[in-house]
Amino acid sequence: MMNHFVTRICVLMYVVGFSVMLHAAQIGPQNIVRGQSTSIETDYDIGNAAMSDSAICDYVIQSNRHEIYLNGRKAGTVTLTLWDTQGARRDVVPISVSSQDMAQLSQEAAEIFGPGTQLKLSRTGDQVVIDGEAATAAEVSKIDDYLQRNPSVRSVARLSGAAQSELAHKIEAEIETPGIHVRAVKGRLLMEGLAYSAEAASRAEKIAKLFDPNIMNLIEVKETKRRPGREPMVVLDVYFMEVKKSVIRTLGINWTPGGTPSSGMRGAGGMFGNLIGSAVGTVFNLLPKIQWIHETGNGRVLEHPSLLVKSGDSGELFSGTEVPYYSAQNVQFKNVGIKLEAEPISSGGAVDLKISATLSTLSAGVNQGIDTHTVNTTAYCKSGESIVLAGLYRNGDSKTWNRLPTGVDTSSALFTLAFSRDFQSHTTDLLIFVTPRVVDAGVDAQAQIQKFNTLDEAITKKRSKKEWRRQNVTDIETHDIASHPYTIELPTSLQPNGGNS
């Protein structure tokens, strides 16, 4: 009998406890916008209540004891605990106070990012969370803009793998620097490779961050004077010409202030050496004028080299030879001739050109010495325009010799000019014409060079018979001088030991 009574008591206590547990879980979480209020109704008399942080949310129990009034004061999360009049705890209510209306914000975000995308939206406390994969970089930018306007929205969305690869290729194409590559690794974009200057690395990073501010920069810098990369090619056609002074004024050359070379610039000493003055100018339509000079016998092309240079880089060419200087211990070779150094920069169809011409000759006054003279200039050459350099020499005294200096190659423009009787008699000048032309590729540049070479050959064939015979006689005298009793007047600077033999 006693055992039966105890069993009934236990069952009754279990039922009462279960009922209390059911009541304690009947009020769900509450969301309140800051500055707004709401109320909670209960099916029991509220005996007491406690708020974990009244600075975030405070409350007032209504007189009917079945309703409690809540007022959101600032953003945050708190907990409200309710007891009934018997002292039993009936409800524990999570309350989230947000600075915005989260329901309205969620609906707005869903309308913008939900339809037709792989993005998902959810609410966590006082935040709207955007998750999933963005199909394009533009979609990521759209999310970023939305986050800046709405601090209560947080994004953990990521760019899809296909979109990341596409963005990496786009960034790499915009950087356009050989050796620098962009790729996607585990949801991040990496920029890696080799930059040949700190400026190039900084430029690449700035461009990349316009597309992805969080891109990881792994570029290694290796300083070099060159500028790697694809740039327009510039062909420099160079003409070393001997031209009669009497016709220079008729060529239409626009000389820079300071006079023209045809005004009779002379000096004492060797064949070239230091000049008294130099002149720089520009001329249009050079080829027809060269052809006219040939046909009228007023000059000739001594040498016609061409140079192919990438825009922004420098190139040089040398027309001359090495002259041996003998001493008791060794033999030293020194360059004698004309060196051109050029740095062209393509500017549309025109060329901004920095050019330097240096003439080095055997010194007439210093034993085993070399006299040099350099002309530096810059010019902006439009299509069809050429630069003219003049006055790179001084005419000197000559003596009669029946042999050439040992080991000297006389095929360059410098020595061809030296053997000219017109030059020795001061009736001709050395003019250097440089014509820059922009081409798109090496193949086009080679075709351009071939075109000029073909035209030059045609000009040569139109020389008068008298000039042709004079040139061939000079060649015979030059090559057979050792075995024939001809005499050639050589300038003092080209004579062994300064002419004391």
- Asked if residue 84 has pLDDT above 60, the reply is yes
> Is residue 291 domain-shared with residue 346, that is, in the same domain?
yes
More confident residue, 255 or 426: 255
Output the average pLDDT for the chain: 74
Please give the residue that has the higher pLDDT: either 53 or 134. 53
Pick the range with the lowest mean pLDDT from 191-205, 234-248, 322-336, 486-500. 486-500
Note whether 294 and 413 are within 8 A (CB): no
**What are phi and psi for residue 497, nearest 5 degrees?**
60, 30
Distance CA 497, CA 501 (A): 7
- We report the CATH number of the domain holding residue 34 as 2.60.40.1080
Q: Say if 498 falls within a structural domain.
A: no
Q: Are residues 66 and 145 in the same domain?
A: no
Same domain, residue pair 284 and 352: yes
Burial category of 116 from C-beta neighbours within 10 Å (exposed 0-12, middle 13-18, buried 19 and up): exposed
Would you state the pLDDT for residue 141?
78
Is residue 201 exposed (0-12), middle (13-18) or buried (19+ Cβ within 10 Å)?
buried
Residue 152: predicted pLDDT: 73
More confident residue, 411 or 497: 411
**87 in a structural domain:** yes
User: Is the predicted pLDDT of residue 246 greater than 90, yes or no?
Assistant: no
Cα–Cα distance for residue pair 389/261, rounded to 1 Å: 9
Q: What is residue 232's predicted lDDT score, i.e. its pLDDT?
A: 84
Mean pLDDT of the 358-369 span: 71
Give yes or no for residue 441 having a pLDDT over 90.
Answer: no
Note whether 287 and 366 are same-domain residues. yes
Share of residues in the chain with pLDDT > 90 (%): 16
For 219-239, what is the mean pLDDT?
82
Q: How confident is the model at residue 59 (pLDDT cuts 50, 70, 90)?
A: very high
Q: 248: helix, coil or strand? A: helix
Q: Which of 110, 131, 159 is the last residue of a domain?
A: 159
Helix (H, G, I), strand (E, B) or coil at 222: coil
Question: Within a 13 Å sphere around the CA of 341, how many CA atoms are in the beta-carbon half?
Answer: 8
DSSP 404: P
pLDDT reported for residue 303: 86
Per-residue pLDDT of 407-429, as tens digits, reads 566 666 766 676 677 766 677 78
3-state secondary structure 19-30: HHHHHHCCCCCE
Residue 436 and residue 321 share a domain:
yes
Provide mean pLDDT across the span 451-475: 51
**Highest averaged pLDDT of the listed ranges 104-118, 163-177, 216-230:** 163-177
337, two tokens: 């001739």
Element (H, E) at 17: helix 2-24
Looking at the structure of the chain, the number of domains it has is 4
Q: Are residues 432 and 385 in the same domain?
A: yes
pLDDT over 90 at 68, yes or no: yes
Residues 205-211: what's their mean pLDDT?
A: 91
Q: Clarify whether residues 61 and 91 are in a common domain.
A: yes
Assign 338 a pLDDT band (cuts: 50, 70, 90): confident
> Which of residues 499 and 392 earns the better pLDDT score?
392
Examine the domain organization and report whether 52 and 84 are in the same domain.
Answer: yes
Confidence (pLDDT) at 245: 84
Q: What confidence category does residue 94 fall into, taking pLDDT thresholds of 50, 70 and 90? A: very high
pLDDT-derived band at 20 (thresholds 50, 70, 90) equals: very low
pLDDT band, very low/low/confident/very high, at 126 (cuts 50, 70, 90) = low
Nearest to 290 by CA among 337, 253, 256: 253
User: Considering just the CA atoms, what is the radius of gyration of the chain in Å?
Assistant: 46
DSSP 340-369: EEEEEEEETTEEEEEEEEEEEEE-SSSTT-
| Least confident stretch, 295-299, 331-335, 398-402 | 398-402
pLDDT tens digits for 262-303? 443 333 333 333 334 567 888 888 888 988 988 888 888 888
Would you place residue 402 in the very low, low, confident or very high pLDDT band (cuts 50, 70, 90)? very low
Query: By C-alpha distance, which of 362, 359, 358, 425 is closest to 397?
Result: 425
283 and 428 fall within a common domain? yes
| Dist. CA 283–CA 385, nearest whole Å | 6
| Residue partners of 189: CB distance under 8 A and separation at least 6 | 164, 167, 168, 171, 182, 183, 208, 212, 214, 215, 216
Task: Note whether 141 and 171 are same-domain residues.
Answer: no
In the predicted structure, residue 21 carries a pLDDT above the cut 60: no
The per-type count for the chain, helices as H runs and strands as E runs, is 11, 27
Tell whether 137 is covered by a domain.
Answer: yes
The least confident of 185-194, 282-291, 297-306, 320-329 is 320-329
Q: Taking residues 88-92, report their average pLDDT.
A: 93
Residues 393 and 346 in one domain: yes
Nearest-angstrom CA–CA distance, 20 and 352: 92
Beta bridge partner(s), residue 350: 347
Determine how many CB atoms are found less than 10 A away from the CB of residue 455. Answer: 14
386 near 235, Cβ under 8 Å? no
pLDDT tier, 92 (very low <50, low <70, confident <90, very high otherwise): very high
Would the pLDDT of 436 be above 70?
A: yes
What pLDDT, on a 0 to 100 scale, did the predictor assign at position 495? 40
Mean pLDDT, rounded, for 23-46: 82
Q: What is the pLDDT of residue 24?
A: 47
More confident residue, 4 or 470: 4
298 and 358 both lie in a single domain: yes
Domain-located, residue 114: yes
The answer as to whether 372 is a domain residue is yes
Mean per-residue pLDDT, 3-28: 54
Residues whose CB is less than 8 angstroms from the CB of residue 116 and which lie 6 or more positions away in sequence, other chains included: none
Examine the fold and report which residue of 112, 138, 159 is the final residue of a domain before the chain moves on: 159
> Domain range spanning residue 92?
30-98
Grade residue 86 by pLDDT with cuts at 50, 70 and 90.
very high
Q: Give CA–CA dist 199/171, Å, rounded.
A: 17
Range of lowest pLDDT (141-145, 209-213, 312-316): 141-145
- pLDDT tier, 18 (very low <50, low <70, confident <90, very high otherwise): very low
Q: What pLDDT sits at residue 80? A: 93
Q: Among 150-164, 306-320, 365-379, 411-425, which range has the highest average pLDDT?
A: 306-320
The CA distance from 468 to 456, in Å, is: 15
The stretch 120-145 carries a mean pLDDT of: 75
25 falls within a domain = no
CA 311, CA 180: separation in Å to the nearest integer? 20
Domain at 112, CATH number: 3.30.1340.30
2 band by pLDDT with thresholds 50, 70 and 90: low
* 109 inside domain: yes
